[in-house]
A and B are shown apart, each in its own frame.
Chain A
Amino acid sequence: MAMAALRREGRRFVPLISPQPISAVQSSLISQEQAPLGVRSISTQIVRNRMKSVKNIQKITKAMKMVAASKLRAIQIKAENSRGIWQPFTALLGDNPSVDVKKNVIITVSSDKGLCGGINSTSVKMSKALHKLTSGPEKQSTYVILGEKAKAQLIRDSKNNIELCITELQRNPLNYTQVSVLADDILKNVEYDALRIVFNKFHSVVSFPPTVATVLSPETVERESESGGNLGELDSYEIEGGETKGEILQNLAEFQFSCVMFNAVLENACSEQGARMSAMDSSSRNAGEMLDRLTLTYNRTRQASITTELIEIISGASALKG
């Protein structure tokens, strides 16, 4: 609702600000003023209206900042608590961003709502770059998109490579069950050798480094561990339970994916709130500055008209006396 109101305010606001910068307002006001013949007062109606709308926008952005701040607090705790879950997997299977495989799936995590700074475009930019890096002859690289905003950006030029779009993830508070259902859905619908999850990791309210986590398919894990390389150590592990090694690795890869996704989605949601908070903070500050300038203009105009009237009265009186 706040967004709609903001948009409405914005529409009212745009024709006023776009033609000329602030300093030009005063002169244009005077020249365009259609006063009745003989009356020389200056109307301040336009400036007053604009002050009102700027004040309203400021109120909205302030409220949005407060909302984002309280949401951030809740989700930050969750995100920080979920940071333990992916680390054992990275310790065991290593971090393999450079792995060279045929079928790459890039999972872009973004938000459903806008007004949160550049985090969604960063995700998209990174995903496009990764796509460029992983595609080539005999190689295939596709997108799975989470969130409305990345969808809107990627659908424009990479429509053919999009395999799956999932939106409205954050309607309910995020929990592991929900994310593992989602992870299941993704795994059912794509064929992959490596999944690359692109998200913004929450670092502080002003820094969200884009991050790429890689999850390998069980076949890739097996191949890589046999050929030595990064996963060479995996061969020395004894495997307990399950019928075959392949089965265990399959379960392991699925579990790893759901855990990494869970952390990624939480980190991204946290970054979103952080970015929204700072974006709304700077726009309320901007609105405040604009309001100050407008108030100055308004008072100066008023003062000028009073001075003019006084001069007229005084000079009239002195002419009569003289």
Chain B
Amino acid sequence: MMFRQGSRLLAGSVRLSRRPFSTATEVPAATTTNADSGFIESWKKVIPNIDPPKTPSHFMNPRPATPSSIPSKITVNFVLPYASELSTKEVDMVIIPATTGQMGVLPGHVPTIAELKPGILSVHEGNDVTKYFLSSGFAFIHANSVADVIAVEAVPVDHIDPSLVQKGLTDFTQKLSSATTELDKAEAQIGVDIHSALNAALSG
């Protein structure tokens, strides 16, 4: 899995002054996923003496239904394994680093599932633009103008140290040229990819 490699490398070139991420918990969000009544019925038929277990939808706030007109703002949930970076935040636009290229998402975007590559996620809110560097992950854009971005690792761009990025880039380029096995080669390639994406993010 490339996610792992990516996040480790990314963590390596981030200064430790990272601000603590918010501790927001359950992300309240869209489409109503009712508890599966069929499951509970069949459970009670087969195992009458034990209460049916809970399922994830019990613990999730229902997501809003698709509005008839396009809302003026898009709701963003941006989650990492160790934090909920943004939860149901209403913003004007997000730009997502999809594997097919940067993708601007405005309210009323067609429902999309996009795989992400290392790159910049920018969140536009009025005149404020917040930029994060993501290692990889997925983004879902729902019909109800809710966008979910799931990343393995992410840091605000201003926390990245340019000198460490340069050093990492030269290191991995060297490793790539001297790699002998397929595995070494792949690892070095991932390192080069991430560092050049970081480099591009810093210069761009």
Q: Using a CB–CB distance below 8 Å, which chain A residues touch chain B?
A: 77-78, 80-92, 94-98, 125-126, 129-130, 132-133, 175-177, 180-181, 184, 198, 201, 209-214, 233, 236-242, 248, 251-252, 254-255, 258-260, 262
Contacts of B112 in A (CB 8 A): 237-240
B115 touches A77 (CB 8 A): no
B27 touches A84 (CB 8 A): yes
Kindly state the separation between the CA atoms of A91 and B139 in the bound complex, as whole angstroms: 12
The answer to whether B83 has its CB under 8 Å from any CB of chain A is yes
B53 touches A126 (CB 8 A): yes
Cβ 8 A contact of B113, one of A85, A87, A98, A237: A237
A87 touches B50 (CB 8 A): no
A184-B1 CB under 8 A given contacts A91-B29, A177-B8, A209-B54: yes
Cβ 8 A contact of B138, one of A82, A238, A252: A252
B55 touches A91 (CB 8 A): no
Kindly state the separation between the CA atoms of A233 and B112 in the bound complex, as whole angstroms: 11
Q: 19 A-B Cβ contacts within 8 A? A: A81-B82, A81-B83, A83-B25, A84-B83, A87-B26, A95-B35, A97-B36, A126-B50, A129-B46, A130-B53, A133-B47, A180-B1, A201-B59, A211-B53, A211-B56, A211-B58, A237-B113, A240-B99, A252-B113
Report the number of A-B residue pairs with Cβ-Cβ less than 8 Å: 175
Contacts of A132 in B (CB 8 A): 46-47
Kindly state the separation between the CA atoms of A180 and B98 in the bound complex, as whole angstroms: 22
A81 touches B54 (CB 8 A): no
Cβ 8 A contact of A133, one of B43, B82, B142: B43
Kindly state the separation between the CA atoms of A212 and B80 in the bound complex, as whole angstroms: 22
Distance in angstroms from A121 CB to nearest chain B CB is 12
Q: Which residue of A lies closest to B37 (CB)?
A: A98
The answer to whether B130 has its CB under 8 Å from any CB of chain A is no
A212 touches B81 (CB 8 A): no
Q: Which residue of B lies closest to A92 (CB)?
A: B140
Contacts of A84 in B (CB 8 A): 24-27, 77, 79-80, 83-84, 87
A91-B140 CB under 8 A given contacts A97-B55, A262-B81: yes
Kindly state the separation between the CA atoms of A79 and B83 in the bound complex, as whole angstroms: 10
Distance in angstroms from B137 CB to nearest chain A CB is 7
Cβ 8 A contact of B7, one of A82, A133, A176: A176
B16-55 with Cβ < 8 A to chain A: 21, 23-27, 29-31, 33, 35-36, 38-39, 42-43, 46-47, 50, 53-55
A91-B31 CB under 8 A given contacts A133-B43, A240-B100, A248-B113: yes
Name the interface size band of chain B: 35 or more
B56 touches A251 (CB 8 A): no
Distance in angstroms from B5 CB to nearest chain A CB is 10
Contacts of A242 in B (CB 8 A): 99, 115
A255 touches B60 (CB 8 A): no
Q: Which 10 A-B pairs have the closest CB atoms?
A: A88-B148, A241-B99, A84-B84, A98-B39, A84-B79, A240-B114, A176-B81, A95-B57, A97-B39, A241-B115
The answer to whether B110 has its CB under 8 Å from any CB of chain A is yes
A125 touches B50 (CB 8 A): yes
Cβ 8 A contact of B50, one of A83, A129, A184, A248: A129
Kindly state the separation between the CA atoms of A85 and B100 in the bound complex, as whole angstroms: 24
Distance in angstroms from B110 CB to nearest chain A CB is 6
Kindly state the separation between the CA atoms of A270 and B33 in the bound complex, as whole angstroms: 26
Kindly state the separation between the CA atoms of A321 and B3 in the bound complex, as whole angstroms: 101
Q: Which residue of B lies closest to A262 (CB)?
A: B81
B42 touches A133 (CB 8 A): yes
Distance in angstroms from A54 CB to nearest chain B CB is 36
Cβ 8 A contact of B111, one of A94, A238, A248: A238
Cβ 8 A contact of A129, one of B47, B103, B148: B47
Contacts of B100 in A (CB 8 A): 240-241
